[in-house]
Amino acid sequence: MANHTIAQNVYVPFLEKKGIWSWILTTDHKRIGIMYLISISFFFLVAGVFALMLRYELLTPASDFVQPHTYNVLFTLHGSIMVFFFIVPGLAASFGNFLIPLMIGAPDVAFPKLNLGSYWIYLLGTLIVLIALAKPADTGWTFYTPYSATTDTDVVLITLGVFVLGFSSILTGLNFIVTIHKMRAPGMTWHRLPLFIWASYATSILQLLATPVVGITLLLLITERTLGVGFFDPAKGGDPVLFQNFFWFYSHPAVYIMIIPAMGVISEIIPVFARKPIFGYKAIAYSSLGIAFISFLVWAHHMFTSGISDIAATIFSFLTFLVAIPTAIKVFNWTATLYKGSIHLHSAMLYALAFVFLFTIGGLTGLFLGALAADIHLHDTYFVVAHMHYVMIGGTVMGFFGALHFWYPKWFGRMFNETVAKIAWLFIFIGFNVTFFPQFFLGVQGMPRRYATYPAEFESLMSLSTYGSWILGAGIIIMTVNLIAGLINGEKAPQNPYGSLSLEWQVPSPPPLENFEEIPHVTDWSYGYGKKK
């Protein structure tokens, strides 16, 4: 490990410069990371409020809080904003930006101006969607045709916004790939790279390969509505199922765009707080790439009841089980890392352990949906809703919260209140499970998703789920307040509070402007904890 210190007299923290233009025009990856962090957190909270409204409506079977149309708009906004504004850019753009150059020993990303451009393109995309809120779409975030081609709500603007966001995603992925290839410090070989970097690399590849396809798909949907093109319209010789094929060709890999960075975060947090080398480094690193590759071959498992051929369904079911293997390998390796460790249950570690626990449930319930006969029954029910949220909240959001608590001192140079953080964690963990675990049973019993009203037989579990959402919401509020309070009056953070060996902890907190006074020479991997025999 490089031993790197910076003389105090030249140390200028990257947060030093003040003024709005120092942000708007910054090409510093750490500041761009903060701008993403603020933006995605904002949209996370907004879409979270929509979720609470949805659950409130579902407290009782009748539609007594909002009309069905409003309900449909709300779940469309909840889904679209969560997916396209929060979770897809999410960890990759915020923590990816902050960490990649620091972890590989580089002063910045390969194309800093392009990086800033990507952020403004992201914001432009969100702005377009904001305008679309004048007559918000009611299609669901999947925009399935023919409904999306015929509804009289504004589908064109929201898809155009998502199309623009796609460019931001592509350019960010491109920037990271080039950065990881070309900007590594001397001695930072591929097998010494922190696993978060491997995860970011796999994610970036997915962003590059999958996003253009959803781009063209949404463009086709837009031409369908504006120019009368009929690729998805059976009346004009088109095929609505083609849209689903195109859409999932992107959106399934996109699921891994959302989850792989969180897997990277977990692989960083667990070794530090267990004081153990990560178990099975290569297995974890290559399984990210394996997942990325296989994820392109499984899209039609969202379509077993869509009218695709039986042969196609069979092949896609088989391939879907393949993707379970690298995922399982990761879970086993994280668990094995704890063995004989010296485990400190810091709030970040609690989020990491929650990730492993909840993601295991998310992954195992995925097996039900991959198995053909079981999926026929469970498809488009609350089982899918629960599974998806166990992966996305139980997985990605836990990873996101873990990352927030873990790198917080490094990024902002201050500490938050650890006791409050643990209380928030408990609320979130319990609230999440109370919200979503009953939904597995609802799904098995046949409760379909996207229902504004529902039969009375589902009421007890549905209202339980709603109560859970209040606990979850309370936990997130406590966490948010705690983290913001830390920024204002938190103690000053030391350089390396947890004794991590990774490069980002070898520079002051917050890091100086160009990260390293001198580019470090790396001599070992960053997981060399414990006593070598």
Instruction: Give the footprint of other proteins on residues 330-389 (CB under 8 A).
Output: 331-333, 335-336, 338-345, 353, 356-357, 360-361, 364-365, 367-368, 370-377, 379-381
Residue 492 has phi, psi (to 5 degrees) of -70, 135
Of the ranges 16-24, 35-43, 185-193, 304-312, which one interacts with other proteins (CB under 8 A)? 304-312
Query: Which residue lies nearer to other proteins by CB, 19 or 237?
Result: 237
Kindly identify the residues of this chain, within the stretch 84-143, that bind other proteins according to CB under 8 A: 107, 110-114, 117, 138-140
Query: Which residue lies nearer to other proteins by CB, 342 or 419?
Result: 342
Question: What is the C-alpha separation between 473 and 517, in angstroms, rounded?
Answer: 43
Q: How far is the CB of 448 from other proteins (least distance, A)?
A: 5
Question: What is the C-alpha separation between 333 and 168, in angstroms, rounded?
Answer: 33
Query: Which three-class secondary structure string do you get for 69-136?
Result: HHHHHHHHHHHHHHHHHHHCCHHHHHHHHHHHHHHHCCCCCCCHHHHHHHHHHHHHHHHHHHHHCCCC
Beta carbons of 432 and 127 less than 8 angstroms apart:
no
Is the dihedral angle over the CA atoms 460, 462, 463, 465 positive or is it negative?
Answer: positive
Beta carbons of 256 and 201 less than 8 angstroms apart:
no
83 binds other proteins (CB under 8 A): no
293 binds other proteins (CB under 8 A): no
426 binds other proteins (CB under 8 A): no
Question: What is the C-alpha separation between 462 and 438, in angstroms, rounded?
Answer: 8
Query: Which residue lies nearer to other proteins by CB, 131 or 325?
Result: 325
Task: Give which of 315, 193, 212, 287 is closest to 254, Cα–Cα.
Answer: 212
Question: In sequence order, which residues have a C-beta less than 8 Å from that of residue 444 and are 6 or more positions away?
Answer: 377, 378, 381, 383
Query: Which residue lies nearer to other proteins by CB, 273 or 412?
Result: 273
Kindly identify the residues of this chain, within the stretch 459-488, that bind other proteins according to CB under 8 A: 460-461
Query: Applying CB under 8 A, which of residues 217, 267, 288, 506 lies at the interface with other proteins?
Result: 217
Task: Give which of 28, 14, 6 is closest to 411, Cα–Cα.
Answer: 14
Q: How far is the CB of 330 from other proteins (least distance, A)?
A: 10
259 binds other proteins (CB under 8 A): no
Kindly identify the residues of this chain, within the stretch 15-44, that bind other proteins according to CB under 8 A: 27
527 binds other proteins (CB under 8 A): yes
Question: What is the C-alpha separation between 367 and 369, in angstroms, rounded?
Answer: 5
187 binds other proteins (CB under 8 A): no
Of the ranges 203-211, 260-268, 428-436, 480-488, which one interacts with other proteins (CB under 8 A)? 203-211
Of the ranges 6-14, 166-174, 388-396, 489-497, which one interacts with other proteins (CB under 8 A)? 166-174
| Tokens standing for residue 307 | 């009218």
Q: How far is the CB of 335 from other proteins (least distance, A)?
A: 5
Task: Tell me the Cα Rg of the chain.
Answer: 23
